[in-house]
Amino acid sequence: MYPKIALIGRPNVGKSTLFNRLIRSNRAITHDRPGVTRDRMEGTVKRDGRTWTVIDTGGIHLDESYKAAEGPSELRGFESEILRQTQEAMAECVALCLVVDGRDGLLPFDRRLAEYVRRSGLPVLLAVNKVDGGELEDQLTPEFHELGLPMLALSGEHGYNMRAFEEELRDLL
């Protein structure tokens, strides 16, 4: 068993895109409790002489349902599921990566998740995703400083700062 780091955050912030970049193709779907869809993915990251496991929370099922949801009352149901998955990840991980969407800005639910991860006492990296190039950094990142977490702006889709991301995650191990 390798040390684990979980990607957490609300749907659509880009967790799975980051996950796929990190693992390239070393993916495993985990369904290890009968009758329960754990709905998450694990993969192995081998880099710079270290090997660790990355967990992508809020898997396919949650993402798809969330995108189909209409209205705040439906979304609240998903929030409790996300919090449940976050707690599960905290119990088994050595560190956490909270992913937010730099284009959406800071949402109330991001604040709640930040409070959760802070209380876990685990090392945390705040990944401000969808910063698709360095020129966007000053525009998209300042409001996230209030969360008081070590922070990196990056783009899972376009690759901006991915190398720095890998290094910062490794340094949390």
Binding-site sequence positions for GTP = 9-16, 56-60, 129-132
Query: Sign of the C-alpha dihedral, residues 105, 108, 112, 118?
Result: positive
Task: Show the beta-strand stretches assigned E in 48-94.
Answer: 50-56
Is residue 40 part of the contact set for ligand GDP (CB under 6 A)?
no
Q: Contacts with ligand GDP in 45-64 (CB under 6 A)?
A: 63
Taking CB positions, which residue lies at the least distance from Mg ion? 16
In angstroms, give the least distance from the CB of 58 to ligand GDP.
6
> Among 8, 15, 97, 123, which residue interacts with ligand GDP (rule: CB under 6 A)?
15
Q: Contacts with ligand GDP in 101-130 (CB under 6 A)?
A: 129-130
d(CA 58, CA 16): 9
Of 63 and 137, CB closest to Mg ion: 63
Is residue 90 classed as helix, strand or coil in its secondary structure?
A: helix
Degrees (nearest 5) of the Cα angle 9, 153, 138? Answer: 125
Of 50 and 65, CB closest to ligand GDP: 65
Is residue 12 part of the contact set for ligand GDP (CB under 6 A)?
yes
d(CA 115, CA 112): 5
Is residue 164 classed as helix, strand or coil in its secondary structure?
A: helix
Is residue 13 part of the contact set for ligand GDP (CB under 6 A)?
yes
40 binds, among Mg ion, ligand GDP, none (CB under 5 to 8 A by kind): none
Binding residues: 9-16, 56-60, 129-132
157 binds, among Mg ion, ligand GDP, none (CB under 5 to 8 A by kind): ligand GDP
In angstroms, give the least distance from the CB of 134 to ligand GDP.
13
- Give the chain's end-to-end CA distance (angstroms, integer): 14
Degrees (nearest 5) of the Cα angle 37, 38, 43? Answer: 130
133, 173 Cβ separation under 8 angstroms: no
Of 12 and 65, CB closest to ligand GDP: 12
